[in-house]
Every structure is written in structure tokens, then in C-alpha cells.
Amino acid sequence: MTTATRGNLFILSSPSGAGKSSLIKALLEKHQDIKMSVSHTTRAPRPGENDGEHYHFVSEADFNALILSKDFFEWAKVFDNYYGTSKAAVEEQLNQGIDVFLDIDWQGAQQVRKLVPEVKTIFILPPSQQELANRLNGRGQDSQEVIASRMAQAKSESSHYNEFDYVLVNDDFDTTLAQLEHIVMAARMELSAQQSRHAALIRDLLR
């Protein structure tokens, strides 16, 4: 009987407006063996977001209870709201051999790196300041103040890009998606994973 090779853990971070959500959506649609961890958050759902799918939307009291019961792998306050990744969701998937992506900020990435040194971390940058401004401007319905605050948040998030293993510049969507896939595929071919996956073959070849 072969045991499932443990899945790899990835972190994908970016400033908002870099196109991360669309990339994740496309990656999951193409690869059924990659899953996204669904975080808990205290922020309100945005239109079109569903509880349990995009996030587990919880109150601050519930979030604090999860911190106290040590249910979180990592958690952080990101600007005005709390966000956390539950241990259970991640461990179960990895043990089943599924690759798990965490969409978390730089603070969460720092915590996970300490707990799981082999985690592969990826940062996505927008292709230019102008393009970022266009994307954050949305439908042009927000005040200059709101847009300026989003730009400042994006700059603060981006300043952590050099803590990550891989940096992708999302200029062309299909190219960036392919680059993400290459990172996942390369991780699957790493020595320790292949030794576990092909233990019988290697034993036979070296007999």
C-alpha cells in the first residue's frame, strides 16, 4: 500500500489590486489537487461573498475564542480587521496529499515561516503604480481619500516583498498563472517528495 505524499504548503501574498484573487480562482479551477484554505475574518462580507466559501465570517468575540482555544495556525490584524487560518483545515488537506495555498498577509507569512520552514512563499506585484491606481480606483465611485488610503495600504504591504521566496509581476494574467503553476510543479519534484512518492521504485533501482 502506498501512503499519500504530504502536500506542499504555499503562501500567496500581494497588495490588493495586484490580481491575486483572479489568479487563485484560475489556479483552483485548473488543478483539483490544489486547495485554498478558507480563513476566518471579523470583517463584513462584501457583495457576492459567501460564508464558508470566501471566508468564515465571525464576530470579534468568536475570533477571540478561537485564539484562546489555539485553533489558529496564524492570525493577524490586517488594517482594521482580524484574519486567521485554522490549523485543522490546513493539516487535514496536507495529510491527504493536497497542496494548500494560504492567501494571507506578510504578518501571517512571518508566523507560518517559523512554524513550517519548508513553506513556499510567493509575492505578487502589480505591473506599475499607474495600473495599481487604476485597479484600486474600481468603478470610480470612491472618494479620492478612500483611494489614497488604499494606495498607502498597497505600498505598506508591498514593502515586504523581499521576505518571500518567489516574486511574480502580474503584467499578463496567463503568464503569471503559468509561473504560479511552475512553482507548484517544481515543489512536487523536490527530493524529499519524490523519495516518498517513489520509495518502491528507488528501492528497486538501488537494490
Instruction: Give start and end residues of each alpha helix (H) in 31-143.
Output: 60-68, 87-95, 106-115, 129-137
Site string for ligand 5GP, 33-52 (x = CB under 6 A): ------x---x---------
Site string for ligand 5GP, 90-129 (x = CB under 6 A): -------------xxx-xx---------------------
C-alpha closest to that of 101 among 40, 179, 176, 39? 39
Across 94-180, the runs of DSSP E, i.e. the strands, are 99-103, 120-125, 166-169
Neighbours of 49 (CB within 10 A): 13
Residues 6+ apart with CB under 8 A from 51: 45, 57
Stretch of 79-87, 90-98, 161-169, 198-206 lying at the interface with ligand 5GP (CB under 6 A): 79-87
Question: 37 labelled as ligand-binding?
Answer: no
* Residues near ligand 5GP, by CB under 6 A: 13, 16, 39, 43, 74, 76, 78, 83-85, 103-105, 107-108
Residues at the annotated binding site?
A: 14-21
Residues at the annotated binding site for ATP?
A: 14-21
